[in-house]
Amino acid sequence: MTDMTSIPPVVTIDGPSGSGKGTIAKLLADKLGYALLDSGALYRLTALAALNADVALDGDNLDEARVAAIAGNLDIRFAIAGGEVSAVLEGKDVSRDIRMERVSMAASKVAAIPAVREALLQRQRDFRALPGLVADGRDMGTTVFPDAPVKVFLTASAEERARRRFDQLQGRGVSVSLRDLLEDIRARDDRDMNRAASPLAPAEDAVVLDSTDIDIDGVLHKVLDLVQQRIG
């Protein structure tokens, strides 16, 4: 059991794009009354700030030092209204902008820079507060909160993740090809898992859950059981 009076417990939810970890993390934080860290949003905000500042992000021109300086000096906050979290960069609500495709691409480039990861490390740890934190990302259980009492690695087959994204986009009236989505997902998996700095991987003490054939409620129940066993 974690001593709730001193160190706030952390539940880490790591996994690849489209595994449902964002949805699970949000539901779990609501249910437990814990704070929520969407660490991907920090990489997206860094990417947007770099794009806004016209910093080169391509190949040989990638200006790592400047992106790291931007990450270290980000003027951001997360505002909560009506149960929704919005991301605010330099006073402007950029929640939609950070989900745009060009920002997703840029985020995966800036996330591979070790100095950027280092610059964002303490900022992520600062989210830890009583009564507890749910942290979602790629390296929450391995690097950012290695002492978390509950670590989940949520995965699903690439085909299932592409199909979920396809349904989501179709529901919004966006027409896309399932094959393109599958290719995108495989490319992002490859980048996230094979980078040198803090690659996507389950922590040794993580519980791996495959959500290919389980719905959101089923996954949520399993994670709540783990929280009950390990945090109480």
Query: Hey, what amino acid is at 181?
Result: L
Least CB distance to ligand DC at residue 200 (A):
7
* 149 contacts ligand DC (rule: CB under 6 A): no
Would you count residue 19 as binding ligand DC (CB under 6 A)? no
Name which of residues 176 to 215 contact ligand DC (CB under 6 A): 192
β-strands 35-38, 76-81: how paired?
unpaired
CB of 178 to ligand DC, least distance (A): 19
43 binds ligand DC (CB under 6 A): yes
Residue 45 host element (H or E): helix 39-52
Is residue 111 involved in binding ligand DC (CB under 6 A)? yes
The one among 13, 20, 24, 44 contacting ligand DC by CB under 6 A:
44
Residue closer to ligand DC, measured from CB, 33 or 148? 148
In the DSSP assignment, the letter for residue 9 is P
Nearest to 74 by CA among 122, 106, 37: 122
Residue 70 lies near ligand DC (rule: CB under 6 A): no
Q: Which one, of 164, 135, 178, 169, lies nearest residue 15 by Cα?
A: 135
Other CB atoms within 10 A of residue 6 CB: 7
Is residue 11 exposed (0-12), middle (13-18) or buried (19+ Cβ within 10 Å)? buried
Q: Is 165 in the site for ligand DC (CB under 6 A)?
A: no
Query: Within 13 Å, how many C-alpha atoms sit on residue 32's CB side?
Result: 29
Question: Which residue number, 48 or 111, has a Cβ lying nearer to ligand DC?
Answer: 111
Question: Which member of 108, 142, 155, 211 binds ligand DC (CB under 6 A)?
Answer: 108
Type of residue numbered 125 = R
Q: Which residues bind ligand DC (CB under 6 A)?
A: 17, 39-40, 43-44, 107-108, 111, 137-139, 192
